[in-house]
Copies of this chain bind each other. A is one copy, B any other.
């Protein structure tokens, strides 16, 4: 990289450096970067050469100050839940970063006090550090949505506004009911007729949604759900306990679970009883976590299309930050089912 004498050896070149080198004004360089159409072809070429030679790239801070935009998207991350199989954030974050890059944005991570869902948002907003937020933890009944809305802070939610269908912020979500219906139908197709559900407590909107997919699939085949459902906390121990009770009292031949964590609990029960998943009892989880992928004999699981979610989220962000802002309707994506050994003898061997 060529250096201008008299400058700090590490200071990157500025617009003025390029202008001098190309023999034009600073403004023309700016136009070459942002509105190339305005330049005559030969001028443009000369400026571009100078840019190339100097390795010029616009200074972010200066541009941000001038345009009042940071091209940064804030994403709050919570601590990893140890002892669970929860694994979607990892994949989602990567997809979001990747997609954001294509849209000329970067992702700014910030931490949040798990007890205060609002912590961190305010400072970033008031210091104009980010242009918008991506809000992911809507499962709590997200006060963020209302709060951010009240502050006129642009944001896109990954997750439906369950508690307020009239909310007018953009959102993207995955159809959990469809996923569980898919899972249940898969077991029905394998010949199972007594299929149990292990899900979350009734106050979880997501949990009730997923459960409805199980109900729907059984009803569609004229099968009863009575005595086959259990609602517990999202822990391996709860899954194990619930499956033990269900096996004793309802004798199901298959389990559909609201999470991979609960499904792993079922695998624990089976291991204790000398039963083999996929041969003796079928098990399906939700999220297609790494756990599902590597546990013997492989856990069949509902997979959220997180790459698509990221694409839709970024699309919504771009609309939101456009002039004038454009807010489309919520987007509901359909998950797929990844079949492994836990639900089909064929799948044995990973």
Contact = CB atoms under 8 A, between A and B. Distances in A.
Interface of A: 9-10, 12, 55-62, 64-65, 68, 70, 72, 77-80, 82-87, 89-91, 93-94, 97-98, 101, 106-111, 120, 123, 126-129, 152, 236-237, 261, 264, 267-268, 271-272, 289-291, 293-297, 350
A91 B111 CA distance: 12
A296 to B, nearest CB: 4
A97 B111 contact: yes
A96 to B, nearest CB: 8
Copies per assembly: 2
A245 B92 CA distance: 38
B110 A61 contact: no
B57 A123 contact: yes
Q: What 8 A-B pairs have minimum CB-CB distances, sorted nearest first?
A: A61-B64, A61-B65, A57-B126, A271-B296, A264-B294, A107-B109, A57-B127, A268-B296
Given A55-B126, A152-B10, A236-B294, A72 B350 contact: no
A329 B59 CA distance: 33
A80 B70 contact: no
A289 B12 CA distance: 42
A85 B291 CA distance: 7
A338 to B, nearest CB: 10
Contacts of A297: 268, 271
A294 B106 contact: no
Contacts of A80: 90-91, 94, 290
Contacts of A59: 65, 127-128
Contacts of A58: 127
A128 B61 CA distance: 8
Nearest to A264: B294
Given A77-B97, A128-B60, A350-B237, A295 B264 contact: yes
Contacts of A64: 60-61, 64-65
A109 B127 CA distance: 19
Given A57-B126, A123-B57, A261 B98 contact: no
Contact of A83 (B57, B82, B98, B294): B294
A82 B290 contact: yes
Contacts of A90: 80, 89-90
Contacts of A78: 94
